[in-house]
Amino acid sequence: MPDQYPILSPEHPSASNAGKCALAVMAKAPRPGKVKTRLAPPLTLEQSAALNTCFLRDTFANIGQVDGAQGIICYTPVGDEAMFDGLAPEGFALISQRGDGFGERLHLAATDLLACGFDSVCLIDSDSPTIPHAALQQAVEALAKPGDRVVLGGSDDGGYYLIGLKAAHAVVFERITWSTGSVFAETVERAAEAGLELVELPLWYDVDDGATLRVLAAELLEGKRPPFAAMDGFDAIRTREFLQALAEGGLQPWQTAG
């Protein structure tokens, strides 16, 4: 059976992409033992992969409602395209990740999507299923304005959940201490060094360990806005239903997670 979503190639740009912002989720195929492994424990590897699938579904649904944008699954590994079938709304497309280090993969993803004919691109993590919809819309609207700039959505752990660009500036991905609490600050420094205007989105969070799983459960199951948040998050229905099913089955691993 053919893959559900078309696969884009920077070697074949399309005029139909002009005027659009590519909202691209950096996603791994949701296989147990390959995704969200830092959540096991408190979850099992199978539960972690299932939760990751819910994260993807909700993030894709959120993106699908943004005006002026095209939803993209920037995936790895090549060969697992079918793992994403049915996870995104109609109209999404696939493009493969390439490069070695994290910064290189981000830079090449931006390069490839802009080469596909998009006017701008936002690279979004797959660990933040409740990113406020207004933040995504704000990013697209900021990039649609004349002039060059970088859009950055910071996470409360010092990283970022979104970076938006109109040109593939390598400098914002260089000399970054990835997977640390200084990623956001260092990226801001790189943008300033390059003389790029910076637009900051509302602060949000990634779900990658037991502590942030508790924040997610409180947000979706108890209606508690994260303490650092200035607005409500996206109603991540699939994720909420998954967590609710765990709770109804007598499992609330976020309550005992370290």
For the chain, 258 residues long, give each residue's pLDDT as a single digit of tens.
345 899 999 999 999 999 999 999 999 999 999 999 999 888 999 999 999 999 999 999 999 999 999 999 999 999 999 999 999 999 999 999 999 999 999 999 999 999 999 999 999 999 999 999 999 999 999 999 999 999 999 999 999 999 999 999 999 999 999 999 999 999 999 999 999 999 999 999 999 988 999 999 999 999 999 999 999 999 999 999 999 999 887 777 767 544
| pLDDT number for residue 2 | 45
| The two three-digit tokens of residue 216, written as one number | 């997610």
Report the candidate in 116, 125, 113, 117 with the shortest Cα–Cα distance to residue 168. 113
Query: With left for phi above 0 and alpha for psi between -120 and 50, is residue 135 left, alpha or beta?
Result: alpha
| pLDDT number for residue 21 | 98
| The two three-digit tokens of residue 76, written as one number | 């790895």
* Cα–Cα distance for residue pair 54/67, rounded to 1 Å: 23
Q: In the chain, helix, strand, coil percent, each to 5?
A: 40, 20, 45
| pLDDT number for residue 33 | 93
**Are 53 and 87 in contact, with CB atoms under 8 Å apart?**
yes
Answer CATH for 15-175+182-251 from 3.10.150.10, 1.10.10.60, 2.60.40.10, 3.90.550.10: 3.90.550.10
* Cα–Cα distance for residue pair 176/85, rounded to 1 Å: 34
Domain boundaries, the chain: 15-175+182-251
* Cα–Cα distance for residue pair 25/12, rounded to 1 Å: 21
